[in-house]
Amino acid sequence: SQQGEEDPQALSIQEGENATMNCSYKTSINNLQWYRQNSGRGLVHLILIRSNEREKHSGRLRVTLDTSKKSSSLLITASRAADTASYFCATLRVSNNRKLIWGLGTSLAVNP
């Protein structure tokens, strides 16, 4: 099955630095969503970007979408130790507008 792929798989930074995670996908999409998962917990929706949008902001989060390259990036600015989590991208395909296709996730560690 087609799925998104995030890179890097793991990222370790110092508090205060910016963290950038990337996601690539394979098919035409309606939207792309980023979710966060703290260790052993459920996924929490962070931000959604529609296929006709190029950039979106929410607090310290900035998401970009390049549909020509079929890729997205999630930037977390001024990271905090509490941002330590796994981050997943999920795409809503044009051909199936109910089923999200998930990436493998990026594990982010923010060191105090």
Partner 1 sequence: EPEVTQTPSHQVTQMGQEVILRCVPISNHLYFYWYRQILGQKVEFLVSFYNNEISEKSEIFDDQFSVERPDGSNFTLKIRSTKLEDSAMYFCASSEGTSGANVLTFGAGSRLTVL
Question: Cβ contacts of residue 25 below 8 Å, gap of 6+?
Answer: 2, 3, 4, 5, 32, 70, 71, 72, 89, 91, 101, 103
3 binding partner 1? (CB under 8 A): yes
Decide: is 69 part of the binding site for partner 1 (CB under 8 A): no
Quick check: 104 binds partner 1 (CB under 8 A)?
yes
Cβ-based nearer residue to partner 1, 76 or 101:
101
Decide: residue 108, CB within 10 A, 0-12 exposed, 13-18 middle, 19+ buried.
buried
Q: Is 45 in the site for partner 1 (CB under 8 A)?
A: yes
Is 31 an interacting residue with respect to partner 1 (CB under 8 A)? yes
Residue 23 touches partner 1, criterion: CB under 8 A:
no
How deeply is 53 buried, as exposed, middle or buried, from its count of CB atoms within 10 A (0-12, 13-18, 19+)?
middle
Shortest Cβ distance from residue 47 to partner 1 (Å)?
Answer: 10
Q: Which of 41, 47, 42, 39 is nearest to 89 (CA)?
A: 47
Task: Answer yes or no whether residue 96 interacts with partner 1 by CB under 8 A.
Answer: yes
By CB under 8 A, residue 29 contacts partner 1:
no
- Rule CB under 8 A: which residues touch partner 1? 1, 3, 30-31, 33, 35, 40-45, 48, 50, 88, 92, 96-100, 102-105
